[in-house]
Amino acid sequence: MIRTPLRPLARVIAARAEGDDPDVIEQTNIRERRRIEEGRVLARTRTRLWMLGGLFSICFAMIGFQMVALAVSQPEEPKARVQGTSILANRSDILDRNGRVLATNMETYSLYAHPQDVVDPVEAALSLAEIFPDIDPVQMAARLSGPQKFMWIKRSISPEQQQAVHDIGDPGLLFGPREMRLYPNGQLAGHVLGGASFGVEGTHSAEVVGTAGVEKAFDTYLRDPKFGGQPLQLSLDLTVQAGLEDVLFGGMRLMNAKAASAVLMDVHTGEIISLVSLPDFDPNLRPTPLTEGDRSDDPLFNRAVQGLYEFGSTYKLFTTAQAIELGLVNPGTMVSTAGPMRVGGHEIEDFSDYGPQMTVEKVLVKSSNIGTVHLANQIGTERQKAFLDRLGLMTPTPIELIEGPTGRPQTPDPWRDIHRATISYGHGMSTTQVHMAAAYASIVNGGTRVTPTLLRQDQTVQGARVISPETSRQVTAMLRKVVTEGTASYGEVPGYAVGGKTGTADKPNPRGGYYDDKVLSSFASVFPSHDPQYVLIVTLDEPEVFAFGEDRRTAGWTAVPVAAEVIRRIAPLLGVRPTVEPDTEPGVVLTAN
Amino acid sequence: MKSVIVAFVILCTVGLAVWSYSEINTSKETLDEIAELNADIARSKSRLRKLNAEWAYQNRPERLAALALEKFEHLELTVLSRDHFVPLDQVPFANVYAAEPPLAPITTPVEIMNRGAAQ
């Protein structure tokens, strides 16, 4: 580049020659040079500004494009999921105590229609009616031709039915994946499991919600994905449940009873190993509840948990145990059994005349009402109420079934002397079978309170003390004598040393009073009585059997043989080995020093 | 010197761009693979549940009792009773292991997991 000098010599000489100031030339040149420089800087700045503007425009355009792309595109799950599969985990399974499946899920399909897409509504309706016999073709054709845009046809269908609907080939008939609850064992433990149905439904999935039993009681747990599909393990034993249901059903038929129920409980943990209520139902096809008539005739009615009954003489154990615990009597104390006896204007009688007096043990073994009332009179009302409360007989059981709280015991208010007397032998107060099982377990397990539960327990939690271990041992030995010498002689099962107490209660008439020929017979048993492990309560509703020339309804003739057969069947399944009963009577008796 | 630095930076940028492009592609492929594996796990789980349900259904006590009755002539299975309990020393154990040589170790394991899953 050729730079123009600020003071060109020729012009300076010429200016000097003319007498001008040569500095003017220099200043002019400086100005010119600055002008050129400024022009160059301006051009460069302008270029930079343009480039910067272009860059920003490109950035804005890119961001804008990305925003539009995000706004218009379909949302999709991020691919990089850590626990992608756990989302697919659905309602948890329910298992028995040995891990066998009681309730699980099954993938199936629902059938729905878009009536506007149906090509031939009449033909489609006829074909559907052939596949599903409960569909009315005329009604279905009308619905398929209607203005509706969407309609459900079937909530869940089998693969065969799905194929048949596919074969119709109508584009308006569509399938949605659906998960249904399956109870593979059918009716077994139906009352405990309850059942499930669909909650909120969409075409792609539906919520399965529990409707009764443990399904409803544990609905939140079973549905919560937080637990990752961890199964719910119950205390029930499937094999024992099957054996018990089998024998009880046979017994019910044999004894001409209209219904039967049974509860089998572990005396140490309070776990319910089996709970049966007959007639029963299949939770896969849960029937609709009865809207009229006696509620207890409904197969859905859980007699063992919801049924409140007077259990009759089985209550005598509580009175006897309390009298011994309070030190008022011992098993050998003589008690008056002279009758008839009058309390509060009511007459109390025995089944037969037992003479003027008997030992406390005999009162229980022979089941004397009068003798038991004498014991209750010694105990007193307040102590009686407090003891029954300690056994858990005054409040609903905490059993984990949605129906549990409905089994609220019915007790008299006020609790008069006549109530004290009748309750001592099991009349005038209604409880459930689960109450009875827990109370018997509390008495025979060494005397600590047992809380009934349907969940498998891995360790024993010792409850509050109800009676002393010594009293527990004494009354359990008395229960054994009821079988060997008393009213429950048909309850003997060799090798299992069954002990128990019978109870026959007249059924209350809804019109007032009691029926003469309808009873509820129960047998509360414990086995083996020298080392109690299980309590079994069997109840038959309105049994009647013809034996030795007359109709017999008492528990000794009805509930006891059924319970004995149950124990014969299930004790080996429970792993209880038959044992030779230790001799309870002392071999040598000290008569004098 | 300046132009060398500029050339080096441009080369680095191009190199990084190529590397990140290939990384993006690899991650996309891996993600697809994971998605496929997840779907596979889900299918296997679902199949397992179905098989468990089927197993429970086939082994329901009612069916087993009926089968035991039907095959009584061959199997002679009866309801477990107290007579079936004996002390351990009275159980006649056959000494089967003494007579037979031990089995050879498995050298060619066969993968059977998910076999037939597609059916």
Instruction: Kindly list the residues from chain B whose CB atom is less than 8 angstroms away from the CB atom of residue A238.
Output: 61
Please state the domain count of chain A. Answer: 3
The pair of structure tokens assigned to A416 is 């008069």
Q: What is the ipTM of this complex?
A: 0.75
* pLDDT at residue number A433: 94
Could you read off the pLDDT of A454-463 as tens digits, one per residue?
A: 999 988 888 8
Most confident of A50-54, A278-282, A430-434, B48-52: A50-54
pLDDT digits (tens, 9 = 90+) for A541-571: 999 888 888 888 888 899 999 999 999 999 9
User: Directed axis angle between helix A417-424 and helix A369-379, to 10°?
Assistant: 130
In sequence order, what are the beta bridge partners of A107?
Answer: A179
Whether residue B41 and residue A85 make contact (CB cut-off 8 A), yes or no, is yes
Q: Is residue A150 located within the same domain as residue A256? A: no
Q: How far apart are the first and last CA of chain B?
A: 69
**Do both A432 and A563 map to the same domain?**
yes
Residues A189 and A249 in one domain: no
Q: Show residues of chain B in contact with A80, CB under 8 Å.
A: 31, 34
pLDDT band of B26, cuts 50, 70, 90: very high
Co-location of A148 and A261 in the same domain: no
Please tell me whether residues A267 and A199 are part of one structural domain: no
**Whether residues A269 and A199 fall in one domain:** no
- Over range A478-482, report the average pLDDT: 92
Q: Which of A77, A100, A101 to mutate to test the interface with B (most CBs of B within 10 A)?
A: A101
Is residue A263 one of the residues assigned to a domain?
A: yes
Structure tokens at A527: 């086995």
pLDDT of amino acid A292: 76
Cross-chain residue pair B52–A104, CB shorter than 8 Å: yes
Residue of chain A minimizing CA distance to B80 = A572
The secondary structure of chain B in percent helix, strand, coil, rounded to multiples of 5, reads 70, 0, 30
- With cut-offs at 50, 70 and 90, classify the pLDDT of residue A260: very high
Residue B110, pLDDT score? 65
Alpha-carbon distance of B105 to A107, in angstroms, equals: 41
CB count in 10 Å sphere of residue A308: 17
The answer to whether residue A259 sits within a structural domain is yes
Mean pLDDT, range A234-239, rounded to an integer = 94
C-alpha span between A538 and A265 (Å, rounded):
12
pLDDT in tens, A313-330: 999 999 999 999 999 999
Confidence band of B111 (pLDDT split at 50, 70, 90)? low
- Domain's final residue, options A171, A205, A233: A233
pLDDT at A234 over 90: yes
A112-121, A173-182, A259-268, B98-107: which is most confident? A259-268
Rg of chain A in Å (alpha carbons): 43
Question: Residue A313 sits in which domain range?
Answer: 240-573
Q: What is the pLDDT of residue A466?
A: 93
Q: Do A105 and B61 touch (CB under 8 A)?
A: no
Q: Verify cis geometry, omega within 30 degrees of 0, for the bond prior to A398.
A: no
Residue A302, classified by CB atoms within 10 Å of its CB into exposed (0-12), middle (13-18) or buried (19+), is buried
CA distance B108 to chain A (A): 32
A251 and A222, same structural domain?
A: no
Do A583 and A589 contact (CB within 8 A), yes or no?
no
Contact residues on chain A for B55, CB-CB shorter than 8 A? 101
| CB of B61 less than 8 A from some CB of A | yes
CB neighbour class for A260 (10 Å; exposed up to 12, middle 13-18, buried from 19): buried
Which of chain B's residues have a Cβ under 8 Å away from the Cβ of A92?
Answer: none
Decide if pLDDT at A87 tops 50.
Answer: no
Ranges assigned E (strand) in A184-240 = 195-201, 206-212, 232-233
The single-letter DSSP state of residue B104 is: P
Helix (H, G, I), strand (E, B) or coil at A322: helix
Beta strand extents in A221-327 (DSSP E only): 232-233, 259-266, 272-278
Is residue A64's pLDDT more than 90? yes
Regarding whether A537 and A423 lie in a shared domain, the answer is: yes
Window B:64-83, CB contacts with A under 8 Å? 65, 79-82
Q: What is the mean pLDDT of residues A477-488?
A: 91
CATH of residue A109: 3.90.1310.10
What does residue A393 show for φ and ψ, rounded to 5 degrees?
-90, 0
Look at residue A57 and tell me if it is in a domain: no
Same domain, yes or no: A23 and A132: no
Is A51 part of a structural domain of the chain?
Answer: no
Distances (CA, A) of A543 to A14, A305, A482, A486: 150, 20, 21, 21
pLDDT at site A585: 58
Looking at the structure, tell me whether residues A425 and A513 fall in a common domain: yes
Give the range among A41-45, A367-371, A432-436, B110-114 with minimum mean pLDDT.
Answer: B110-114
Averaged pLDDT of chain A:
88
Residue-wise pLDDT for A336-385, tens only, equals 888 788 887 788 888 888 888 899 999 999 989 999 999 999 999 999 99
Residues of A with CB under 8 A from a CB of B: 79-81, 84-85, 88-89, 93, 100-101, 104-107, 182, 184-186, 188, 238-239, 242-243, 246, 494-496, 568-569, 571-573, 577-578
A130-180 confidence digits (pLDDT tens):
898 888 889 888 888 888 888 888 888 888 888 999 998 889 899 988 888
Same-domain check for residues A531 and A431: yes
What CATH number should be reported for the domain holding residue A411?
Answer: 3.40.710.10
**Residue in A76, A77, A79 to test binding to B, most B beta-carbons within 10 Å:** A79
Residues A341 and A209 in one domain: no
- Of B109 and A57, the one with more pLDDT: A57
Task: Inform me whether the pLDDT recorded for A86 exceeds 60.
Answer: no
- Residue A487 inside a domain? The answer is yes
Q: Is it the case that residue A84 has pLDDT exceeding 50?
A: no
HEC-encoded secondary structure of B16-52? HHHHHHHHHHHHHHHHHHHHHHHHHHHHHHHHHHHHH
